[in-house]
């Protein structure tokens, strides 16, 4: 159980909030962040009451992490509840499958996370109508009529389009439609969907929230008690729970969130500016670039623009040579880690991207080192 109270955190800046998020009242001779509670079951004499009974239902290490995430996603908001999950997909599935029933309609982005088409197939198998539209241009507005749930992903992964969350929420709520926003790419320091009116902020904590590429995690933050009770029930039924060690690692990692996000976002802009001068680079996207198609709306609803940029090299071979030549950029999927990663996204299939399309996640290296490495790799990959 968690609330969004700012607890003992005296400051309101993101860095202060991040380093103190979710910490319990200090206890003499005890660590400030208690270690992971490894327990499948808890001492439970007599009546079944109190918060901790069985390890699939609740765990004190999750409780602290859930409080921390709630403080970041919805600072100062009352009545907000946070639930953590084994992965981002566990969090997404728990919202979607707990809120929708046969005969309902859901609107998904057509350009969202690559597993959404599998979710779509499963929803349809359960008799739920699925409509899709692109993120850019708020196109999901056009297919909203009568939907039970609107799912937004802004910025979208990997295309980096942005939608006007407030505008979509207003239209959705006018028709009685709940709204969930996938906040993975932005992180709560980049964007706070609940403040923009959304009913759920959902994310993969696997990416920049934890930032070291060593943990899978997901979370749901919501303010509708009934809806959240259904999400909690779904987590219990499916058992999609985080391990105590993962939850603790995530909580420890959140202490550096502001440092990492600020560094990585600033360097992402620097790398994007260096890439735009290169003739072989096409379709460069970064919402933080002032002339990016996403920038106007992003600047209204985001406080930081994320660490992911995307661009297209002329051919698949050219992109592969670039990825081979870069020494500070690991060829890997996922994003948000302290070490830069990039991949040719088309290798997975599924995303509607050109063969030479690269999704680049900017890490915490020194910006001059990273830019030099990227430019050298581009030189080396030219024919
Ligand atoms: C990675 C990702 C997910 C899924 O998260 P997992 O932790 O891998 O299950 C969902 N949405 C977005 C936008 C992602 O990037």
Q: What does the alpha-carbon distance between residue 165 and residue 192 come to, in Å, rounded to a whole number? A: 10
List, for residues 290-325, the tens digit of each pLDDT value.
Answer: 999 999 999 999 999 999 999 999 999 999 999 999
Testing ligand 1's pocket by substitution, the residue of 118, 135, 207 carrying the most ligand atoms inside 8 A of its CB is: 207
pLDDT score of 2: 40
pLDDT score of 301: 98
Report the separation in Å between the CA atom of 218 and the middle of ligand 1, taken as the mean of its atom positions. 8
Q: What does the alpha-carbon distance between residue 194 and residue 201 come to, in Å, rounded to a whole number? A: 6
Distance of CA 382 to the CA centre of its chain: 34
Report the separation in Å between the CA atom of 26 and the middle of ligand 1, taken as the mean of its atom positions. 34
List, for residues 60-97, the tens digit of each pLDDT value.
Answer: 999 999 999 999 999 999 999 999 999 999 999 999 99
Q: Which residue stretches of the chain have pLDDT < 70? A: 1-11
pLDDT score of 374: 98
Q: Ligand 1: which residues within 6 Å by Cβ?
A: 87-89, 92, 113, 153, 157, 182, 184-185, 204, 206-207, 216, 218
Ligand 1 atom 5 nearest Cα: 88
Atom of ligand 1 lying closest to residue 157 CA:
13
Task: Please provide the DSSP assignment of 213-243 as one string.
Answer: S----EEEEES-HHHHHHHHHHHHHHT-PPP
pLDDT score of 3: 41
Domains in the chain, start-ordered, CATH in brackets?
14-254 (3.40.640.10), 258-381 (3.90.1150.10)
Ligand 1 atom 4 nearest Cα: 88
pLDDT score of 269: 98
Q: Which pair of tokens denotes residue 146?
A: 């009568």
pLDDT score of 46: 96
Report the separation in Å between the CA atom of 253 and the middle of ligand 1, taken as the mean of its atom positions. 18
Non-local CB neighbours of 121 within 8 Å, separated by 6+ positions: none
Ligand 1 atom 11 nearest Cα: 113
Q: What does the alpha-carbon distance between residue 7 and residue 30 come to, in Å, rounded to a whole number? A: 18
Testing ligand 1's pocket by substitution, the residue of 86, 89, 108, 249 carrying the most ligand atoms inside 8 A of its CB is: 89
Task: Please provide the DSSP assignment of 78-129 as one string.
Answer: TT-EEEEESSHHHHHHHHHHHH--TT-EEEEETTS-TTHHHHHHHHHHTT-E
Q: If you ran DSSP here, which 8-state letter would residue 205 be given?
A: T
β pairing state of 330-331 and 81-85: unpaired
* Cβ atoms of 148 and 119 closer than 8 Å: no
Please tell me the pTM assigned to this model.
0.96
């Amino acid at each position: 159980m968690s609330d969004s109270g700012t607890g003992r955190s005296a400051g309101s800046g993101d860095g202060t909030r991040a380093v103190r998020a979710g910490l319990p009242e200090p206890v003499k001779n005890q660590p400030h962040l208690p270690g992971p509670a490894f327990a499948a079951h808890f001492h439970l004499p007599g009546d079944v009451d109190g918060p901790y009974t069985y390890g699939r239902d609740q765990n004190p290490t999750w409780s602290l992490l859930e409080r921390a995430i709630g403080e970041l996603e919805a600072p100062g908001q009352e009545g907000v509840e946070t639930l953590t999950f084994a992965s981002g997909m566990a969090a997404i599935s728990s919202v979607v499958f707990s809120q929708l029933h046969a005969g309902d309609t859901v609107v998904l982005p057509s350009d969202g996370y690559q597993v959404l088409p599998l979710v779509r197939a499963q929803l349809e198998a359960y008799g739920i109508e699925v409509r899709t539209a692109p993120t850019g241009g708020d196109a999901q507005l056009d297919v909203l009529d009568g939907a039970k749930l609107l799912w937004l992903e802004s910025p979208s992964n990997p295309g980096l389009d942005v939608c006007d969350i407030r505008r979509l929420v207003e239209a959705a709520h006018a028709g009685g439609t709940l709204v969930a926003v996938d906040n993975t790419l932005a992180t709560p320091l980049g964007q706070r969907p609940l403040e923009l009116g959304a009913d759920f902020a959902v994310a993969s904590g696997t990416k920049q929230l934890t930032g070291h590429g060593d943990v899978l995690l997901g979370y749901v933050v919501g303010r509708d008690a009934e809806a959240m009770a259904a999400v909690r029930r779904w987590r219990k039924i499916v058992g999609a729970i985080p391990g105590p060690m993962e939850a603790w690692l995530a909580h420890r990692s959140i202490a550096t969130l502001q440092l990492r996000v600020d560094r990585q976002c600033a360097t992402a802009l620097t790398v994007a500016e260096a890439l735009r001068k290169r003739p072989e680079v096409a379709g460069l996207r970064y919402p933080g670039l002032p002339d990016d198609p996403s920038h106007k709306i992003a600047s209204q609803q985001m406080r930081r623009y994320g660490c992911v940029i995307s661009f297209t090299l002329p051919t698949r071979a050219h992109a592969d040579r670039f990825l081979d030549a870069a020494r500070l950029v690991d060829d890997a999927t996922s994003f948000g880690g302290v070490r830069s990663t990039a991949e040719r996204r088309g290798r997975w299939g599924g995303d509607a991207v050109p063969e030479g399309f690269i999704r680049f996640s900017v890490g915490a290296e020194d910006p001059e080192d990273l830019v030099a490495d990227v430019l050298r790799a581009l030189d080396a990959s030219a024919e």
